[in-house]
Amino acid sequence: MLQGLMMKRPLSIPSILDYAAEVHGASTVVSADPGGQVNVQSYHDTRQRVLRLANALCEIGVTPGDRVATLAWNSHRHLELYYAISGIGAICHTINPRLFIDQIAWIANHAEDSVLFFDTDLADLVLQLKPRLPAGIRLIALCDEAGLPSGLPDGTESYETLVAGQPADFDWPDLPETTASGLCYTSGTTGNPKGALYSHRSTLMHAMSIILGVPKSFGVEQRILPAVPLFHVNAWGLPFSAPLSGSSLIMPGPRLDGPSLFDLMDEQAATIAWGVPTIWTGLIEEMKTRHRKPAKLHSLLIGGSAVSEAQIRTLEDDFGIEVVHGWGMTEMSPVGTATRVNRDQPFTVPVSDKLKQGQRLFGVEMKIVGEDGTEMKSDESEAGELLVRGNTVIADYFRGTEERDRTFDQHGWFRTGDVARISRQGDLTLVDRTKDLIKSGGEWISSIDLENAACTCPGVRQAAAIAIPDETWGERPLLAVVRAPGPGLKAEDVIDHLSNMMAKWQLPDKVLFMDELPMTATGKISKLALREQLARPPGDRPGTS
Ligand code: AMP
Protein backbone atom coordinates (compact mmCIF):
# COMPACT_ATOMS: atom_id res chain seq x y z
CA MET A 1 0.00 0.00 0.00
CA LEU A 2 1.28 3.45 -0.86
CA GLN A 3 1.55 5.64 2.26
CA GLY A 4 0.54 9.27 2.15
CA LEU A 5 3.38 11.71 2.60
CA MET A 6 1.90 14.09 5.13
CA MET A 7 3.25 15.14 8.50
CA LYS A 8 1.99 13.26 11.52
CA ARG A 9 1.48 16.00 14.09
CA PRO A 10 -0.43 14.56 17.04
CA LEU A 11 -3.86 15.92 17.90
CA SER A 12 -3.46 17.57 21.28
CA ILE A 13 -5.77 19.28 23.77
CA PRO A 14 -3.48 22.23 24.65
CA SER A 15 -3.20 23.06 20.94
CA ILE A 16 -6.89 24.11 21.14
CA LEU A 17 -6.12 26.80 23.70
CA ASP A 18 -2.91 27.86 21.94
CA TYR A 19 -5.01 28.36 18.82
CA ALA A 20 -7.87 30.14 20.62
CA ALA A 21 -5.46 32.49 22.41
CA GLU A 22 -3.87 33.45 19.09
CA VAL A 23 -6.84 33.53 16.73
CA HIS A 24 -9.76 34.18 19.11
CA GLY A 25 -7.76 35.88 21.86
CA ALA A 26 -10.49 38.42 22.60
CA SER A 27 -13.32 35.90 23.13
CA THR A 28 -13.94 35.45 26.83
CA VAL A 29 -14.51 32.97 29.62
CA VAL A 30 -17.09 34.39 32.01
CA SER A 31 -17.37 32.60 35.32
CA ALA A 32 -19.87 33.04 38.18
CA ASP A 33 -18.59 31.88 41.57
CA PRO A 34 -20.84 30.31 44.26
CA GLY A 35 -21.53 33.78 45.69
CA GLY A 36 -22.60 35.11 42.29
CA GLN A 37 -19.39 37.19 41.71
CA VAL A 38 -18.41 37.20 38.05
CA ASN A 39 -14.88 36.81 36.68
CA VAL A 40 -14.18 37.62 33.02
CA GLN A 41 -10.96 36.69 31.23
CA SER A 42 -10.02 36.36 27.55
CA TYR A 43 -8.79 33.12 25.99
CA HIS A 44 -5.41 34.81 25.82
CA ASP A 45 -5.44 35.38 29.61
CA THR A 46 -6.86 31.92 30.20
CA ARG A 47 -3.90 30.43 28.36
CA GLN A 48 -1.46 32.44 30.46
CA ARG A 49 -3.05 31.05 33.63
CA VAL A 50 -3.04 27.52 32.19
CA LEU A 51 0.70 27.78 31.48
CA ARG A 52 1.34 28.89 35.07
CA LEU A 53 -0.81 26.04 36.33
CA ALA A 54 1.07 23.54 34.17
CA ASN A 55 4.32 24.69 35.82
CA ALA A 56 2.71 24.43 39.25
CA LEU A 57 1.46 20.89 38.60
CA CYS A 58 4.94 19.79 37.57
CA GLU A 59 6.41 21.48 40.63
CA ILE A 60 4.13 19.56 43.01
CA GLY A 61 5.17 16.34 41.35
CA VAL A 62 2.32 15.49 38.98
CA THR A 63 3.77 13.31 36.24
CA PRO A 64 2.39 11.89 32.96
CA GLY A 65 -0.27 9.25 33.56
CA ASP A 66 -1.18 10.53 37.05
CA ARG A 67 -4.87 10.97 37.78
CA VAL A 68 -5.72 14.42 39.09
CA ALA A 69 -9.27 14.69 40.41
CA THR A 70 -11.68 17.61 40.41
CA LEU A 71 -14.77 17.99 42.56
CA ALA A 72 -16.01 21.24 41.15
CA TRP A 73 -18.72 23.23 39.37
CA ASN A 74 -18.38 25.03 36.05
CA SER A 75 -15.81 27.79 36.45
CA HIS A 76 -12.77 29.32 34.76
CA ARG A 77 -10.50 27.48 37.22
CA HIS A 78 -12.07 24.13 36.39
CA LEU A 79 -11.57 24.90 32.70
CA GLU A 80 -7.92 25.79 33.35
CA LEU A 81 -7.45 22.43 35.09
CA TYR A 82 -8.85 20.62 32.04
CA TYR A 83 -6.11 22.10 29.86
CA ALA A 84 -3.14 22.12 32.22
CA ILE A 85 -3.63 18.57 33.55
CA SER A 86 -4.09 16.98 30.14
CA GLY A 87 -1.43 19.23 28.59
CA ILE A 88 1.33 17.85 30.83
CA GLY A 89 0.24 14.28 30.03
CA ALA A 90 -1.73 13.65 33.23
CA ILE A 91 -5.42 12.75 33.36
CA CYS A 92 -8.16 15.11 34.46
CA HIS A 93 -10.55 12.97 36.51
CA THR A 94 -13.82 14.84 37.00
CA ILE A 95 -15.92 13.56 39.91
CA ASN A 96 -19.64 14.21 40.33
CA PRO A 97 -20.14 15.86 43.76
CA ARG A 98 -23.78 14.79 43.77
CA LEU A 99 -22.89 11.12 44.14
CA PHE A 100 -23.24 9.38 47.47
CA ILE A 101 -20.07 9.67 49.52
CA ASP A 102 -19.37 5.90 49.35
CA GLN A 103 -19.39 6.09 45.56
CA ILE A 104 -17.06 9.11 45.46
CA ALA A 105 -14.60 7.35 47.79
CA TRP A 106 -14.77 4.20 45.68
CA ILE A 107 -14.17 6.11 42.45
CA ALA A 108 -11.22 8.13 43.84
CA ASN A 109 -9.57 4.92 45.04
CA HIS A 110 -10.26 3.04 41.83
CA ALA A 111 -8.70 5.91 39.87
CA GLU A 112 -5.86 6.24 42.44
CA ASP A 113 -6.13 10.01 42.35
CA SER A 114 -3.00 11.75 43.60
CA VAL A 115 -4.37 15.30 43.81
CA LEU A 116 -7.89 16.62 44.41
CA PHE A 117 -8.93 20.13 43.37
CA PHE A 118 -12.26 21.15 44.90
CA ASP A 119 -14.64 24.09 45.13
CA THR A 120 -14.82 25.70 48.55
CA ASP A 121 -18.58 25.15 48.95
CA LEU A 122 -17.77 21.42 48.82
CA ALA A 123 -15.30 21.69 51.72
CA ASP A 124 -17.56 19.77 54.13
CA LEU A 125 -17.83 16.92 51.68
CA VAL A 126 -14.03 16.87 51.29
CA LEU A 127 -13.61 16.82 55.07
CA GLN A 128 -15.87 13.78 55.35
CA LEU A 129 -14.16 12.12 52.41
CA LYS A 130 -10.58 12.75 53.50
CA PRO A 131 -10.06 9.60 55.63
CA ARG A 132 -11.35 7.49 52.75
CA LEU A 133 -9.34 9.05 49.93
CA PRO A 134 -6.12 7.50 48.57
CA ALA A 135 -3.29 7.92 51.10
CA GLY A 136 -1.12 10.98 50.53
CA ILE A 137 -3.62 12.72 48.25
CA ARG A 138 -2.89 16.45 47.95
CA LEU A 139 -5.87 18.75 48.51
CA ILE A 140 -6.14 22.07 46.69
CA ALA A 141 -9.11 24.43 47.11
CA LEU A 142 -10.22 26.44 44.07
CA CYS A 143 -9.84 29.87 45.66
CA ASP A 144 -7.24 32.38 46.79
CA GLU A 145 -5.54 32.26 50.17
CA ALA A 146 -8.14 34.53 51.78
CA GLY A 147 -10.96 32.32 50.51
CA LEU A 148 -9.69 29.11 52.19
CA PRO A 149 -12.49 27.90 54.50
CA SER A 150 -11.50 27.17 58.08
CA GLY A 151 -11.38 23.60 59.36
CA LEU A 152 -9.94 22.05 56.19
CA PRO A 153 -7.49 19.15 56.59
CA ASP A 154 -3.92 20.25 57.36
CA GLY A 155 -1.86 21.01 54.30
CA THR A 156 -4.79 22.06 52.09
CA GLU A 157 -3.49 24.68 49.67
CA SER A 158 -5.18 27.40 47.67
CA TYR A 159 -5.23 27.28 43.87
CA GLU A 160 -4.27 30.91 43.40
CA THR A 161 -1.27 30.60 45.72
CA LEU A 162 -0.15 27.53 43.81
CA VAL A 163 -0.35 29.33 40.48
CA ALA A 164 0.98 32.74 41.56
CA GLY A 165 4.63 33.33 40.86
CA GLN A 166 4.85 30.56 38.26
CA PRO A 167 6.15 31.59 34.82
CA ALA A 168 3.57 32.00 32.05
CA ASP A 169 5.49 29.90 29.60
CA PHE A 170 5.62 26.17 29.28
CA ASP A 171 6.65 23.84 26.48
CA TRP A 172 3.89 21.30 26.06
CA PRO A 173 5.41 17.82 25.75
CA ASP A 174 4.89 16.17 22.38
CA LEU A 175 2.48 13.47 23.51
CA PRO A 176 1.26 10.66 21.28
CA GLU A 177 -2.33 11.61 20.39
CA THR A 178 -3.64 8.41 21.96
CA THR A 179 -2.37 9.54 25.40
CA ALA A 180 -5.15 9.45 28.02
CA SER A 181 -6.42 12.93 28.89
CA GLY A 182 -9.66 12.67 30.86
CA LEU A 183 -11.53 10.18 33.03
CA CYS A 184 -15.23 10.15 33.83
CA TYR A 185 -17.09 7.40 35.69
CA THR A 186 -20.61 6.39 34.81
CA SER A 187 -23.13 4.29 36.77
CA GLY A 188 -23.00 0.63 36.00
CA THR A 189 -26.25 -1.32 35.88
CA THR A 190 -24.59 -3.88 38.08
CA GLY A 191 -21.63 -3.48 40.35
CA ASN A 192 -19.49 -0.41 40.64
CA PRO A 193 -19.20 2.67 38.40
CA LYS A 194 -17.10 2.31 35.27
CA GLY A 195 -14.54 4.78 33.94
CA ALA A 196 -14.49 6.13 30.40
CA LEU A 197 -10.88 7.13 29.66
CA TYR A 198 -10.70 9.73 26.89
CA SER A 199 -7.61 10.51 24.83
CA HIS A 200 -6.32 13.69 23.22
CA ARG A 201 -7.31 12.24 19.86
CA SER A 202 -10.86 11.27 20.84
CA THR A 203 -11.38 14.66 22.50
CA LEU A 204 -10.25 16.59 19.43
CA MET A 205 -12.32 14.40 17.09
CA HIS A 206 -15.36 14.94 19.30
CA ALA A 207 -14.77 18.71 19.52
CA MET A 208 -14.63 18.97 15.75
CA SER A 209 -17.59 16.68 15.16
CA ILE A 210 -19.92 18.72 17.39
CA ILE A 211 -18.87 21.93 15.64
CA LEU A 212 -19.84 20.25 12.36
CA GLY A 213 -23.02 18.66 13.75
CA VAL A 214 -24.38 21.61 15.75
CA PRO A 215 -22.95 24.55 13.78
CA LYS A 216 -25.43 27.09 15.11
CA SER A 217 -23.87 26.83 18.56
CA PHE A 218 -20.39 27.82 17.48
CA GLY A 219 -18.43 30.78 16.11
CA VAL A 220 -17.03 34.07 17.46
CA GLU A 221 -20.49 35.66 17.58
CA GLN A 222 -21.80 32.97 19.99
CA ARG A 223 -21.74 33.17 23.78
CA ILE A 224 -22.42 29.69 25.05
CA LEU A 225 -23.49 28.67 28.54
CA PRO A 226 -22.79 25.04 29.50
CA ALA A 227 -25.54 24.28 32.03
CA VAL A 228 -24.33 20.70 31.78
CA PRO A 229 -21.59 20.29 34.40
CA LEU A 230 -17.91 19.91 33.61
CA PHE A 231 -18.06 16.75 35.73
CA HIS A 232 -20.58 15.22 33.30
CA VAL A 233 -18.55 13.98 30.35
CA ASN A 234 -16.57 17.16 29.78
CA ALA A 235 -19.72 19.32 29.73
CA TRP A 236 -20.58 17.54 26.49
CA GLY A 237 -17.37 18.77 24.83
CA LEU A 238 -18.05 22.51 25.11
CA PRO A 239 -14.77 23.35 26.95
CA PHE A 240 -13.00 22.24 23.78
CA SER A 241 -15.40 23.18 20.95
CA ALA A 242 -16.11 26.69 22.21
CA PRO A 243 -12.49 27.94 22.19
CA LEU A 244 -11.77 26.02 18.99
CA SER A 245 -14.55 27.88 17.19
CA GLY A 246 -14.04 31.20 19.01
CA SER A 247 -17.33 31.11 20.98
CA SER A 248 -17.16 32.73 24.40
CA LEU A 249 -17.96 30.51 27.39
CA ILE A 250 -20.24 31.49 30.26
CA MET A 251 -19.64 29.27 33.30
CA PRO A 252 -22.60 29.31 35.70
CA GLY A 253 -20.95 27.88 38.83
CA PRO A 254 -23.24 25.85 41.12
CA ARG A 255 -26.34 28.05 40.70
CA LEU A 256 -28.46 26.36 38.07
CA ASP A 257 -31.90 27.41 39.34
CA GLY A 258 -34.16 29.30 36.92
CA PRO A 259 -33.71 32.83 38.34
CA SER A 260 -29.89 32.57 38.62
CA LEU A 261 -29.57 31.17 35.11
CA PHE A 262 -31.91 33.80 33.71
CA ASP A 263 -29.94 36.66 35.32
CA LEU A 264 -26.57 35.34 34.20
CA MET A 265 -27.79 34.71 30.65
CA ASP A 266 -29.36 38.13 30.48
CA GLU A 267 -26.41 40.04 31.92
CA GLN A 268 -23.81 38.14 29.94
CA ALA A 269 -25.77 38.08 26.67
CA ALA A 270 -25.76 34.28 26.35
CA THR A 271 -26.86 33.25 22.86
CA ILE A 272 -26.79 29.45 23.32
CA ALA A 273 -26.97 27.01 26.22
CA TRP A 274 -26.67 23.25 26.52
CA GLY A 275 -28.20 21.10 29.27
CA VAL A 276 -30.69 18.46 30.40
CA PRO A 277 -34.48 18.99 30.23
CA THR A 278 -34.85 19.45 34.01
CA ILE A 279 -32.66 22.57 33.96
CA TRP A 280 -34.80 24.12 31.24
CA THR A 281 -37.98 23.50 33.23
CA GLY A 282 -36.62 25.94 35.84
CA LEU A 283 -35.60 28.50 33.21
CA ILE A 284 -38.99 28.26 31.48
CA GLU A 285 -40.79 28.97 34.77
CA GLU A 286 -38.65 32.05 35.22
CA MET A 287 -39.28 33.21 31.65
CA LYS A 288 -43.01 32.82 32.24
CA THR A 289 -42.77 34.91 35.41
CA ARG A 290 -40.85 37.67 33.64
CA HIS A 291 -42.82 37.34 30.38
CA ARG A 292 -39.66 37.28 28.33
CA LYS A 293 -36.53 35.27 27.49
CA PRO A 294 -32.96 36.25 28.35
CA ALA A 295 -32.27 39.02 25.83
CA LYS A 296 -29.94 37.32 23.35
CA LEU A 297 -30.76 33.65 23.87
CA HIS A 298 -31.71 32.09 20.53
CA SER A 299 -31.12 28.36 20.90
CA LEU A 300 -30.90 25.52 23.44
CA LEU A 301 -29.38 22.11 22.97
CA ILE A 302 -31.32 19.68 25.12
CA GLY A 303 -30.07 16.16 25.75
CA GLY A 304 -29.20 13.57 28.37
CA SER A 305 -32.89 12.60 28.60
CA ALA A 306 -35.72 12.82 26.11
CA VAL A 307 -37.14 16.31 25.61
CA SER A 308 -40.93 16.59 25.78
CA GLU A 309 -43.18 18.05 23.11
CA ALA A 310 -44.52 20.59 25.65
CA GLN A 311 -41.00 21.83 26.41
CA ILE A 312 -40.13 22.25 22.72
CA ARG A 313 -43.40 24.05 21.97
CA THR A 314 -43.08 26.43 24.92
CA LEU A 315 -39.49 27.32 24.07
CA GLU A 316 -40.08 27.71 20.34
CA ASP A 317 -43.64 29.05 20.08
CA ASP A 318 -43.88 31.16 23.23
CA PHE A 319 -40.31 32.42 23.53
CA GLY A 320 -38.70 32.07 20.09
CA ILE A 321 -35.84 29.87 21.33
CA GLU A 322 -34.96 27.13 18.87
CA VAL A 323 -34.48 23.62 20.29
CA VAL A 324 -31.85 21.13 19.15
CA HIS A 325 -32.30 17.66 20.62
CA GLY A 326 -29.16 15.61 21.22
CA TRP A 327 -28.38 12.11 22.43
CA GLY A 328 -25.16 10.62 23.66
CA MET A 329 -23.40 8.67 26.39
CA THR A 330 -20.45 9.04 28.74
CA GLU A 331 -18.86 6.22 26.74
CA MET A 332 -19.22 8.30 23.54
CA SER A 333 -17.42 11.50 24.66
CA PRO A 334 -20.57 12.00 24.74
CA VAL A 335 -22.55 13.44 21.80
CA GLY A 336 -23.71 10.89 19.22
CA THR A 337 -26.62 12.56 17.47
CA ALA A 338 -28.28 15.97 17.18
CA THR A 339 -31.20 17.55 15.35
CA ARG A 340 -29.99 19.22 12.16
CA VAL A 341 -31.55 22.66 12.04
CA ASN A 342 -31.26 25.20 9.25
CA ARG A 343 -28.70 27.82 10.26
CA ASP A 344 -30.36 30.66 8.37
CA GLN A 345 -33.99 29.60 8.65
CA PRO A 346 -34.81 28.75 12.28
CA PHE A 347 -37.94 26.84 13.31
CA THR A 348 -38.26 25.03 9.97
CA VAL A 349 -37.76 21.51 11.40
CA PRO A 350 -41.15 20.14 12.57
CA VAL A 351 -41.54 19.41 16.29
CA SER A 352 -42.25 15.75 15.46
CA ASP A 353 -38.71 15.49 14.09
CA LYS A 354 -37.23 17.24 17.13
CA LEU A 355 -38.75 14.61 19.38
CA LYS A 356 -36.41 12.15 17.68
CA GLN A 357 -32.89 12.11 19.09
CA GLY A 358 -31.35 13.58 15.92
CA GLN A 359 -28.99 12.48 13.16
CA ARG A 360 -25.65 10.86 13.79
CA LEU A 361 -22.56 13.04 13.97
CA PHE A 362 -19.65 12.45 11.65
CA GLY A 363 -17.48 9.65 13.02
CA VAL A 364 -20.31 7.89 14.88
CA GLU A 365 -21.64 4.73 13.23
CA MET A 366 -24.87 3.17 14.48
CA LYS A 367 -26.64 -0.15 13.99
CA ILE A 368 -29.53 -1.91 15.66
CA VAL A 369 -29.61 -5.62 16.43
CA GLY A 370 -32.21 -8.16 17.53
CA GLU A 371 -31.95 -10.38 20.61
CA ASP A 372 -29.85 -12.93 18.68
CA GLY A 373 -27.42 -10.23 17.56
CA THR A 374 -28.54 -10.10 13.92
CA GLU A 375 -28.54 -6.67 12.39
CA MET A 376 -31.97 -5.18 11.79
CA LYS A 377 -33.18 -2.82 9.09
CA SER A 378 -32.27 0.85 9.33
CA ASP A 379 -35.49 2.09 7.75
CA GLU A 380 -37.39 2.94 10.95
CA SER A 381 -39.57 -0.18 10.53
CA GLU A 382 -37.81 -2.16 13.28
CA ALA A 383 -36.57 -1.38 16.78
CA GLY A 384 -33.58 -3.14 18.32
CA GLU A 385 -30.68 -2.66 20.68
CA LEU A 386 -28.52 0.24 19.54
CA LEU A 387 -24.81 -0.41 19.00
CA VAL A 388 -22.26 2.25 18.07
CA ARG A 389 -18.65 2.54 17.03
CA GLY A 390 -16.32 5.39 16.16
CA ASN A 391 -13.28 7.44 17.11
CA THR A 392 -15.09 8.97 20.04
CA VAL A 393 -16.45 5.71 21.52
CA ILE A 394 -14.68 3.74 24.28
CA ALA A 395 -12.79 0.58 23.29
CA ASP A 396 -12.83 -0.59 26.94
CA TYR A 397 -13.43 0.77 30.43
CA PHE A 398 -10.58 2.03 32.62
CA ARG A 399 -8.99 -1.08 34.18
CA GLY A 400 -11.23 -3.25 31.99
CA THR A 401 -14.57 -4.90 32.61
CA GLU A 402 -15.52 -8.43 33.47
CA GLU A 403 -18.61 -8.00 31.33
CA ARG A 404 -16.87 -7.52 27.99
CA ASP A 405 -19.41 -9.62 26.09
CA ARG A 406 -22.24 -7.60 27.51
CA THR A 407 -20.44 -4.36 26.68
CA PHE A 408 -19.25 -5.04 23.11
CA ASP A 409 -20.41 -7.37 20.33
CA GLN A 410 -18.04 -9.79 18.57
CA HIS A 411 -17.09 -7.07 16.05
CA GLY A 412 -16.16 -4.57 18.77
CA TRP A 413 -19.30 -2.40 18.54
CA PHE A 414 -20.35 -0.86 21.86
CA ARG A 415 -23.74 -1.88 23.25
CA THR A 416 -25.54 1.29 24.35
CA GLY A 417 -28.31 -0.38 26.37
CA ASP A 418 -30.78 1.83 24.48
CA VAL A 419 -33.48 0.43 22.21
CA ALA A 420 -33.99 2.45 19.04
CA ARG A 421 -35.10 2.80 15.46
CA ILE A 422 -32.77 4.28 12.83
CA SER A 423 -33.84 5.85 9.54
CA ARG A 424 -32.00 5.61 6.22
CA GLN A 425 -30.83 9.21 6.78
CA GLY A 426 -29.20 8.31 10.11
CA ASP A 427 -32.06 9.66 12.27
CA LEU A 428 -32.25 8.07 15.70
CA THR A 429 -35.45 7.47 17.68
CA LEU A 430 -35.07 5.99 21.16
CA VAL A 431 -37.98 3.79 22.19
CA ASP A 432 -36.79 2.01 25.34
CA ARG A 433 -33.80 1.05 27.48
CA THR A 434 -32.45 -2.43 28.25
CA LYS A 435 -30.31 -1.20 31.15
CA ASP A 436 -31.93 -1.26 34.57
CA LEU A 437 -31.32 2.38 35.46
CA ILE A 438 -33.45 5.39 36.30
CA LYS A 439 -32.45 8.81 34.94
CA SER A 440 -33.59 11.65 37.16
CA GLY A 441 -32.69 15.22 36.22
CA GLY A 442 -29.85 13.91 34.06
CA GLU A 443 -28.33 11.82 36.88
CA TRP A 444 -28.45 8.04 37.11
CA ILE A 445 -30.00 6.01 39.91
CA SER A 446 -29.21 2.31 39.76
CA SER A 447 -32.39 0.26 40.29
CA ILE A 448 -30.24 -2.62 41.42
CA ASP A 449 -28.41 -0.56 44.07
CA LEU A 450 -31.75 0.68 45.32
CA GLU A 451 -33.16 -2.84 45.48
CA ASN A 452 -30.08 -4.26 47.21
CA ALA A 453 -30.13 -1.45 49.76
CA ALA A 454 -33.88 -1.93 50.38
CA CYS A 455 -33.41 -5.66 50.93
CA THR A 456 -31.08 -4.94 53.87
CA CYS A 457 -33.95 -3.12 55.62
CA PRO A 458 -35.49 -5.26 58.39
CA GLY A 459 -39.01 -6.24 57.37
CA VAL A 460 -38.37 -6.20 53.59
CA ARG A 461 -38.62 -9.57 51.86
CA GLN A 462 -38.33 -8.43 48.23
CA ALA A 463 -37.92 -5.10 46.48
CA ALA A 464 -38.01 -3.86 42.91
CA ALA A 465 -37.31 -0.32 41.67
CA ILE A 466 -38.74 1.09 38.46
CA ALA A 467 -38.79 4.52 36.81
CA ILE A 468 -42.02 6.47 36.78
CA PRO A 469 -42.41 9.47 34.46
CA ASP A 470 -42.05 12.86 36.15
CA GLU A 471 -42.69 16.26 34.61
CA THR A 472 -39.78 17.99 36.32
CA TRP A 473 -37.15 15.27 36.64
CA GLY A 474 -37.99 13.14 33.57
CA GLU A 475 -38.07 10.00 35.71
CA ARG A 476 -38.26 9.30 39.44
CA PRO A 477 -37.81 5.97 41.27
CA LEU A 478 -40.71 3.99 42.65
CA LEU A 479 -39.91 1.10 44.98
CA ALA A 480 -42.26 -1.87 45.11
CA VAL A 481 -41.78 -3.86 48.33
CA VAL A 482 -43.05 -7.21 49.58
CA ARG A 483 -43.08 -7.23 53.39
CA ALA A 484 -41.53 -10.05 55.40
CA PRO A 485 -43.87 -11.60 57.94
CA GLY A 486 -43.95 -9.54 61.13
CA PRO A 487 -45.00 -6.13 62.39
CA GLY A 488 -46.32 -3.82 59.64
CA LEU A 489 -43.39 -2.14 57.91
CA LYS A 490 -44.13 1.45 56.85
CA ALA A 491 -42.85 3.45 53.86
CA GLU A 492 -41.03 5.84 56.26
CA ASP A 493 -39.11 2.90 57.76
CA VAL A 494 -37.81 1.93 54.32
CA ILE A 495 -36.92 5.53 53.39
CA ASP A 496 -35.14 6.08 56.74
CA HIS A 497 -33.12 2.94 56.18
CA LEU A 498 -32.19 3.93 52.60
CA SER A 499 -31.18 7.45 53.69
CA ASN A 500 -28.10 5.97 55.36
CA MET A 501 -27.01 4.33 52.15
CA MET A 502 -27.94 6.64 49.28
CA ALA A 503 -27.95 10.32 48.33
CA LYS A 504 -31.21 12.15 49.09
CA TRP A 505 -32.13 12.63 45.42
CA GLN A 506 -31.69 8.88 44.83
CA LEU A 507 -34.37 7.93 47.36
CA PRO A 508 -37.64 6.63 45.92
CA ASP A 509 -40.49 9.15 45.69
CA LYS A 510 -42.90 6.39 46.54
CA VAL A 511 -42.76 3.05 48.35
CA LEU A 512 -45.58 0.79 47.32
CA PHE A 513 -46.31 -2.41 49.25
CA MET A 514 -47.40 -5.41 47.21
CA ASP A 515 -48.51 -8.91 48.22
CA GLU A 516 -46.15 -10.33 45.61
CA LEU A 517 -44.00 -9.15 42.72
CA PRO A 518 -44.57 -10.49 39.18
CA MET A 519 -41.91 -13.03 38.24
CA THR A 520 -40.51 -14.27 34.91
CA ALA A 521 -40.44 -17.95 33.98
CA THR A 522 -36.80 -18.10 35.10
CA GLY A 523 -37.68 -16.82 38.57
CA LYS A 524 -36.51 -13.20 38.18
CA ILE A 525 -38.65 -10.20 39.03
CA SER A 526 -40.38 -9.12 35.83
CA LYS A 527 -39.91 -5.35 35.61
CA LEU A 528 -41.91 -5.37 32.39
CA ALA A 529 -44.96 -6.88 34.09
CA LEU A 530 -44.44 -4.66 37.15
CA ARG A 531 -44.43 -1.50 35.02
CA GLU A 532 -47.48 -2.75 33.19
CA GLN A 533 -49.32 -3.47 36.49
CA LEU A 534 -48.44 -0.11 37.99
CA ALA A 535 -49.54 1.76 34.89
CA ARG A 536 -53.11 0.54 35.58
CA PRO A 537 -55.51 2.60 37.75
CA PRO A 538 -54.91 1.81 41.49
CA GLY A 539 -58.15 -0.19 41.88
CA ASP A 540 -57.12 -2.46 39.03
CA ARG A 541 -53.75 -3.54 40.47
CA PRO A 542 -53.33 -6.87 42.21
CA GLY A 543 -52.56 -6.72 45.96
CA THR A 544 -51.06 -3.23 46.44
CA SER A 545 -51.21 -0.86 49.40
P1 AMP B 1 -24.89 9.27 30.34
O2 AMP B 1 -23.83 8.29 30.08
O3 AMP B 1 -25.09 9.58 31.78
O4 AMP B 1 -24.69 10.49 29.51
O5 AMP B 1 -26.27 8.63 29.89
C6 AMP B 1 -26.45 8.14 28.59
C7 AMP B 1 -27.84 7.59 28.46
O8 AMP B 1 -28.81 8.62 28.75
C9 AMP B 1 -28.21 7.09 27.10
O10 AMP B 1 -27.73 5.77 26.86
C11 AMP B 1 -29.72 7.16 27.14
O12 AMP B 1 -30.27 6.05 27.84
C13 AMP B 1 -29.95 8.41 27.95
N14 AMP B 1 -30.12 9.57 27.06
C15 AMP B 1 -29.18 10.46 26.69
N16 AMP B 1 -29.69 11.38 25.86
C17 AMP B 1 -30.99 11.06 25.68
C18 AMP B 1 -32.06 11.62 24.90
N19 AMP B 1 -31.90 12.70 24.15
N20 AMP B 1 -33.25 10.98 24.93
C21 AMP B 1 -33.44 9.89 25.72
N22 AMP B 1 -32.48 9.33 26.47
C23 AMP B 1 -31.26 9.90 26.44
299-302/460-470 β-pairing? unpaired
Q: Tell me which of 70-74, 444-448, 519-523 is least confident.
A: 519-523
Residue 541 has pLDDT above 80, yes or no: no
d(CA 99, CA 307): 24
CA 26 to chain centre: 29
Q: Residue 416's closest CA among 377, 372, 385, 378? A: 385
Predicted pLDDT of residue 35: 80
Which has more pLDDT, 451 or 369? 369
The tens digit of pLDDT for each residue in 81-123 reads 999 999 999 999 999 999 989 999 999 999 999 999 999 999 9
Q: Quick one: DSSP state of residue 496?
A: H
Are 413 and 459 found together in one domain? no
The tens digit of pLDDT for each residue in 441-459 reads 988 888 888 888 998 899 9
Query: What's the CATH code of the domain at 463?
Result: 3.30.300.30
Are 457 and 476 found together in one domain? yes
Are 412 and 508 found together in one domain? no
Ligand 1 center from residue 419 Cα (angstroms): 11
d(CA 77, CA 88): 17
* Local confidence band at 494 (pLDDT 50, 70, 90 cut-offs): very high
Predicted pLDDT of residue 343: 87
The tens digit of pLDDT for each residue in 289-346 reads 999 999 999 999 999 998 999 999 999 999 999 999 999 999 999 999 999 999 889 9
Atom of ligand 1 nearest to the CA of 416: 10
d(CA 46, CA 391): 28
Are 83 and 149 found together in one domain? yes
Atom 20 (ligand 1): residue with closest C-alpha? 306
- Tell me the average pLDDT of the chain: 94
Atom 12 (ligand 1): residue with closest C-alpha? 418
In this structure, are residues 349 and 328 in contact, taking their beta carbons and an 8 Å threshold?
no
pTM: 0.92
Are 380 and 498 found together in one domain? no
Q: Please report whether residue 286 resides in a domain.
A: no
Q: Please report whether residue 383 resides in a domain.
A: yes
Q: Please report whether residue 138 resides in a domain.
A: yes
Atom of ligand 1 nearest to the CA of 334: 4
- The residue among 142, 158, 175 that closes a domain is 175
- The residue among 175, 191, 226 that closes a domain is 175
Ligand 1 center from residue 514 Cα (angstroms): 31
Are 55 and 123 found together in one domain? yes
Q: Please report whether residue 270 resides in a domain.
A: no
Are 467 and 428 found together in one domain? no
Three-state DSSP class for 132?
helix
* Local confidence band at 189 (pLDDT 50, 70, 90 cut-offs): low
Are 421 and 520 found together in one domain? no
Q: Please report whether residue 378 resides in a domain.
A: yes
Q: Please report whether residue 373 resides in a domain.
A: yes
First vs last Cα of the chain: how many Å apart?
A: 71
Atom of ligand 1 nearest to the CA of 332: 2
Ligand 1 center from residue 302 Cα (angstroms): 11
Pocket test for ligand 1, best of 300, 430, 432 (most atoms within 8 A of CB): 430
The tens digit of pLDDT for each residue in 219-238 reads 999 999 999 999 999 999 99
d(CA 529, CA 60): 56
Are 463 and 507 found together in one domain? yes
**184-212: average pLDDT:** 91
The tens digit of pLDDT for each residue in 230-271 reads 999 999 999 999 999 999 999 999 999 999 999 999 999 999
Query: What's the CATH code of the domain at 157?
Result: 3.40.50.980
Are 449 and 410 found together in one domain? no
Are 47 and 142 found together in one domain? yes
Predicted pLDDT of residue 543: 67
Domain containing 93 equals 40-175
Predicted pLDDT of residue 371: 83
Are 398 and 467 found together in one domain? no
Q: Please report whether residue 297 resides in a domain.
A: no
Q: Please report whether residue 473 resides in a domain.
A: yes
Residue 540 has pLDDT above 80, yes or no: no
Ligand 1 center from residue 173 Cα (angstroms): 36
Q: Which protein residues are within 6 Å of ligand 1, measured from CB? A: 186, 233, 303-306, 325, 327-330, 334, 357, 416-418, 430, 433, 439, 444
State the catalytic residues. 186, 331, 439, 444
Atom 15 (ligand 1): residue with closest C-alpha? 304
- The residue among 393, 413, 433 that closes a domain is 433
Predicted pLDDT of residue 378: 87
Where is 250: in which H helix or E strand? strand 248-251
Residue 204 has pLDDT above 90, yes or no: yes
Atom of ligand 1 nearest to the CA of 233: 4
Domain count, the chain: 3
Residue 468 has pLDDT above 70, yes or no: yes
